[in-house]
Amino acid sequence: QVQLVQSGSELKKPGASVKVSCKASGYTFTNDALNWVRQAPGQGLEWMGWINTYTGNPTYAQGFTGRFVFSLDTSVSTAYLQISSLEAEDTAVYYCAREDQTCTSSDCYPNYFYPWGQGTLVIVSS
């Protein structure tokens, strides 16, 4: 079955970096986009952006530029989210989610998210 499995919880100090992984199985990894979604404690879902798993090109949502980097290792069907210069406000659960976009030669059109990874809790605390 189609599945996304994320890496485990992380406890980091302010200023450090963290890299979260999301391993896909059950489908051709490079056929579908991979999104990242943040959920702060007790809050709703916030879209961080997506990465084109065929080209490796990332797109970042407003508010997620600079310290956030999406990357891939297609040889192991895995996507990564790296956050540098961690702040207490980065404490959240981070989810990856697959998106079956429709793409033309010039553009890609958004779609719903299915499935989601189980989430990775990142705690930033001194």
Partner 1 sequence: EIVMTQSPATLSVSPGERATLSCRASQSININLAWYQQKPGQAPRLLIYGASTRATGIPAGFSGSGSGTEFTLTISSLQSEDFAVYYCHQYNNWPHTFGRGTKLEIK
Q: Which is nearer to partner 1, 38 or 90 (CB)?
A: 38
Burial class (CB in 10 A: 0-12, 13-18, 19+), 117: buried
Q: Which residues contact partner 1 by CB under 8 A?
A: 35, 44-47, 61-62, 95, 110-119
Among 48, 24, 44, which Cα is nearest to 36's?
A: 48
Report, in Å, the least distance between residue 47 CB and partner 1.
4
Least distance CB 117 / partner 1 (angstroms): 7
Q: What angle do CA 94, 56, 104 make, to 5 degrees?
A: 105
CB of 93 to partner 1, least distance (A): 9
The nearer residue to partner 1, 98 or 124, going by C-beta atoms, is 98
